[in-house]
Amino acid sequence: MSKSTASTLRKKSGGLKGKRRDKRKHESIEVPTPLRIGAKRLKEKRVMGGAVKIMPIELSEGNMFDPVSKKFTKVKLLKVTENPANRSYARRNIITKGSVIETSEGSARVINRPGQSGQVTLIKINKA
């Protein structure tokens, strides 16, 4: 049974309303899959207009921008050290925008939405 954003079949009192119509494809929702650190695993999803969105399930590499040298380098993701979205995400190594990640080149912050774009873009944190 798929999840839907259509109106509920319940009244305020808790009783059932009559069924208005069947579910529609554009009303269906997908339970979000959190992006983790691990071997690269991607999933393709068809979205509105027939386009395909690449949704990562696990990633092990990212593109890190160094503001001093103004260059991007490919780095290996080691672990999530801090996540402002949810404290338990850091313990479970779940990546979201704003997460601080320990990489092979030092600490970096995620500046994109990796679940939407299919890749992790980081900016190096300079400790002064």
* Residue-wise pLDDT tens digits, 35-65: 999 999 999 988 888 999 888 999 999 999 9
* Contact (Cβ atoms closer than 8 angstroms) between residue 98 and residue 85: yes
Q: Give the tokens for residue 52.
A: 């395909």
Q: Which residue ranges make up each domain of the chain?
A: 35-124
pLDDT surpasses 70 at 110: yes
Most confident of 8-12, 49-53, 70-74: 70-74
CATH class of 35-124: alpha beta
CA 109 from centre of chain: 15
Q: Give the tokens for residue 13.
A: 């009192």
Q: How far apart are CA 120 and CA 101, in angstroms?
A: 11
pTM of the model as a whole: 0.77
